[in-house]
A and B are shown apart, each in its own frame.
Chain A
């Protein structure tokens, strides 16, 4: 035990000698009532790189995350630009009301933090944080995150297992509170840029109607997540 403490102390001295590197403790809480988060991707990166940006076209990697929950390409992209990442810290889905805590060590120039995770069940909705400036002073900081629409898929609200980019439909509802047999609520995506999600519509018809989602379960209002960053 004594040895462990000594090595922690030594580590502390080492990390403080790196000019801007930071040791972050991060907690993410799902604030929705009936929406799961797929595996989170959390990244510290520099001012020139991002996971997504409001009002711009989604990258194919962002699309894969938003339509199917696959963070691998998005993680590869940001690491190629020098970003530090925490992949899937909740080890799977983060249920409504649940939280996950983890740590992230940031490189000296990686002073911004971004986060994404697909919202299930949606067609291409995700919870996002774009380039939060990581505070330089030690302390605990709280942020509230909005739900975005990647703009890459029409929100037809039909659950058919489709999670591959370009395939129309929703992969699944992890809470199994969905209906079946819906005809689809729309075939159009009006705003094809990354924008604020208008939330699910849903209906009250469990065996038909236009949506497989339940209007009393699968809607939300922003914010959809709480992000607490502790700068150690």
Chain B
């Protein structure tokens, strides 16, 4: 009885699909210019970010849509000054004004551990990559990110769920000292590069409790990957 019902639904589904195919075929034969214009739709995406750390507030989340020729960072290579600035201070302005970025959006403020925020992005392109970056404010130059995720194939109402790792910009030594960590009221950006000068996966927090006597951080600030959850949904 149940499988019969499912079969019926299935048949109805095929009929509907054929009808859609038929109608869209009619559309394609239509020479009306207005219809051609409508096919160039703007794609809109919502990007929800959840802070999965225990005690690492995020700087305002930064979403970028761009083409395949642009990378906001590349693992194993030197950080751009835009990345250095974001990873050391949380300031995302250089990314938001980057000429290689087609569309950008930023979160409204600090994203607390456990909290989530959704930003909206849109593009007229059909080849779209998404990058997302945010500083972990109780680090020297740690940031959670995803880079160059191809979302061109995402259909309307379809979602992509990803986890973001935590990276080290490699531009500031991981002293964990209060004077150097923005979340401990310390300094943000400093153009001196006194670390290894390449982007790597972050090695984590050592903390004072674990023997780093200069550290202002404790066990609550430690983290493991992933640092964030990212849910991308094409809404239009």
Q: Which A positions have Cβ atoms within 8 angstroms of B?
A: 17-19, 54-55, 146-147, 149, 151, 155, 185-186, 188-193, 195-199, 201, 203, 210, 215, 220-222
Residues of B whose CB lies within 8 Å of any CB of A are 3, 6, 50-55, 113-116, 207, 209-210, 218-220, 222-227, 229
> B220: which A residues are within 8 A, CB to CB?
186, 188, 190, 198
The verdict on A196 contacting B226 (CB below 8 Å), with A55-B116, A185-B209, A191-B114 known, is yes
How many angstroms between the C-alpha atoms of A147 and B223 in the bound complex? 11
- Smallest CB-CB separation from A190: which chain B residue? B55
**B157–chain A nearest beta-carbon distance, Å:** 13
Chain A residues with Cβ below 8 Å from B218 are: 186
In the bound complex, CA of A55 to CA of B53 (Å): 10
Distance in angstroms from A131 CB to nearest chain B CB is: 9
- Indicate if the CB atoms of B114 and A198 lie closer than 8 Å: no
State how many angstroms separate the Cβ of A195 from the closest Cβ of chain B: 5
Q: Are A196 and B114 in contact (CB under 8 A)?
A: no
- Residue of B whose beta carbon sits closest to that of A215: B210
| Among A146, A186, A191, A222, contact of B219 (Cβ-Cβ < 8 Å) | A186
Q: Could you give 13 example pairs across A and B, Cβ below 8 Å?
A: A17-B3, A55-B116, A55-B229, A151-B114, A191-B52, A191-B113, A191-B114, A193-B113, A195-B54, A197-B224, A203-B209, A210-B209, A221-B224
Distance in angstroms from A178 CB to nearest chain B CB is 17
A188–B218 CA distance with the chains assembled, in angstroms? 12
- A222 CB contact (under 8 Å) in B113, B115, B222, B224: B224
Residues of A within 8 A of B54 (CB): 149, 189-191, 195, 198
The residue that A54 contacts in the complex, of B3, B50, B207, with Cβ under 8 A, is B50
Known: A198-B54, A198-B224, A199-B222. A19 touches B114 (CB 8 A): no
- Residues of B contacting A55 in the complex (Cβ-Cβ under 8 angstroms): 50-52, 114-116, 229
Chain A residues whose CB sits within 8 angstroms of the CB of B6 once the complex forms: 19
Q: Contact between A196 and B224 (Cβ–Cβ < 8 Å)? A: yes
Q: How far is the CB of A228 from chain B (nearest CB, A)?
A: 20
Given contacts A191-B55, A201-B210, contact A146 B226 (CB under 8 A): yes
